[in-house]
Amino acid sequence: MKKVNGFTLIEMMIVLALVGILATIAVPSFRSTIQNNRITTQANALIAAFNIARSEAIKRGVSVTVCSSGPTSFTACNNNTNWTNGWIVIDSNANVIRQWGALSGGSTVTTTANLVTYRGTGLKSVPTTSPTTFALTIPDCVGDQVRTISLSATGRPTTARTACP
């Protein structure tokens, strides 16, 4: 009698059942990882905008502004506090240095600032007295998935993980 190598139908069904159980356990934690990575990436993009504006202000010796923009135009400031649709870095002659589009995945930005301006010295000029904060939040926020970006009076950005609202 010749021995046949391969899988039986019962063995295949058991493997598929185990894969299904493991996938059911892994998917929720994988979703959380994706959300954490998405909000971190979006916070890093906003921090990059502040760093670019600051360095361009120093390099050019003129005021450079980061402001909310989009979704229809990325060539001018919206002069509102809705940064969710994107933001731009512009110089004192209204030349666009860099632009960012709307946040993906339904993320939102909460702030009271409609713009941040850096003087040619690299110091923040608007607003000058207190730290400016931006809170980036994702839908279905759980735990400490909010990223809060604070700009000191000198204009240096720092980020922190904070609790969901």
Q: Is residue 15 assigned to a domain?
A: yes
Q: Is residue 109 assigned to a domain?
A: yes
Q: Is residue 84 assigned to a domain?
A: yes
Query: Quick one: average pLDDT of 146-157?
Result: 89
Residues sharing a CB contact under 8 Å with residue 88, sequence separation 6 or more, in sequence order: 66, 67, 69, 74, 75, 76, 77, 96, 97, 98, 99, 100
Largest CA distance in the chain: 90
Q: Is residue 152 assigned to a domain?
A: yes
Return the residue matching tokens 């502040």: 50
* Separation between Cα atoms, residue 17 and residue 155, nearest integer Å: 55
Return the residue matching tokens 């207190």: 130
Q: Is residue 1 assigned to a domain?
A: no
| Domain count within the chain | 1
Q: Is residue 90 assigned to a domain?
A: yes
Confidence of residue 147 (pLDDT cuts 50, 70, 90): very high
| DSSP string for residues in 82-135 | --TT-EEEEETT--EEEEE-PPSTT-EEEES-SEEEE-TTS-EEES-SS-EEEE
Question: Residue 64 sits in a domain of what CATH number?
Answer: 3.55.40.10
Q: Is residue 4 assigned to a domain?
A: no
Return the pLDDT at 128.
55
Helix (H) or strand (E) holding 11: helix 9-60
Fill in the amino acid letter for 123: L
Domain limits for position 150? 9-162
What pLDDT digit, counting tens, does each position of 37-80 carry? 899 999 999 999 999 999 999 999 999 999 998 777 777 888 78
Cis peptide leading into residue 165 (ω within 30°)? no
Q: Is residue 135 assigned to a domain?
A: yes
Report the predicted TM-score, pTM, of the whole model to 2 decimal places. 0.80
